């Protein structure tokens, strides 16, 4: 049971429920399908009630304290739901994955590889080293005797050339979404 002061804190914290749920759904997109929105709302209200018992206005601001408590409870409720699903790893169905992210066709990747052949040897060398051989910008900078900042600029410029060559080629158009 909450006393009158704690009830006041909990009531004041209800203003943070909706923004915290929105934040949670935007920053943890992989957990959107785990728990229903009604369950998220219930978990957030529970967090307000339990956090009101331990809230001390001298130590923290009300928005920071209750927002953290709400987000923590939302994460805990998702964790509980994932564990309760027959002790298996949570898997996303193909239909859910397609809804989350539009599936793109392969031609853009093929076009990028073909566009890579149209670039100069020096441009290709930088792009292949970074993208295919997984060399860091710092290692490229050391290898070519430039600063890391300059290497970043050079790499961006060369990737921009690749992007332009991929999109501007007459046989390769922009990829259409299916």
Q: What pLDDT shows up at residue 82? A: 79
Q: Is the dihedral of CA 81, 48, 20, 39 positive or negative?
A: positive
Low-confidence ranges of the chain (pLDDT < 70): 85-110, 168-178
Q: What single-letter DSSP state applies at residue 103?
A: P
Q: What pLDDT shows up at residue 76? A: 92
Domain boundaries along the sequence of the chain? 4-99, 107-168
Q: What pLDDT shows up at residue 177? A: 46
Q: Is the dihedral of CA 171, 172, 177, 178 positive or negative?
A: positive
Q: Are 44 and 73 in contact (CB under 8 A)?
A: yes
Kindly state the helix (H) or strand (E) to which residue 116 belongs, with its residue range.
helix 107-118
Q: What pLDDT shows up at residue 115? A: 79
Q: What pLDDT shows up at residue 176? A: 47
For domain 107-168, give its CATH number from 1.10.10, 1.10.3470, 3.40.630, 3.40.50.
1.10.10
**Burial (Cβ within 10 Å: 0-12, 13-18, ≥19) of residue 73:** buried
């Amino acid at each position: 049971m909450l006393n009158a002061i704690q009830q006041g804190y909990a009531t004041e914290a209800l203003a943070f429920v909706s923004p915290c749920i929105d934040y949670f759904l935007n920053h943890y997109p992989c957990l959107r399908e785990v728990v229903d929105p009604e369950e998220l709302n219930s978990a957030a209200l529970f967090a307000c009630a339990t956090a009101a018992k331990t809230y001390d206005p001298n130590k923290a601001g009300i928005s920071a304290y209750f927002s953290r408590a709400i987000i923590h409870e939302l994460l805990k409720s998702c964790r509980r739901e994932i564990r309760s699903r027959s002790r298996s790893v949570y898997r996303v169905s193909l239909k859910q994955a397609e809804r989350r992210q539009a599936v793109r066709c392969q031609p853009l990747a093929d076009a990028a590889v073909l566009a890579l052949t149209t670039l100069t040897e020096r441009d290709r060398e930088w792009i292949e080293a970074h993208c295919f051989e997984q060399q860091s910008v710092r290692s490229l900078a050391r290898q070519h005797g430039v600063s890391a900042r300059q290497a970043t600029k050079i790499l961006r410029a060369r990737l921009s050339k690749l992007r332009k060559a991929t999109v501007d080629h007459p046989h390769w158009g922009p990829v259409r979404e299916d």
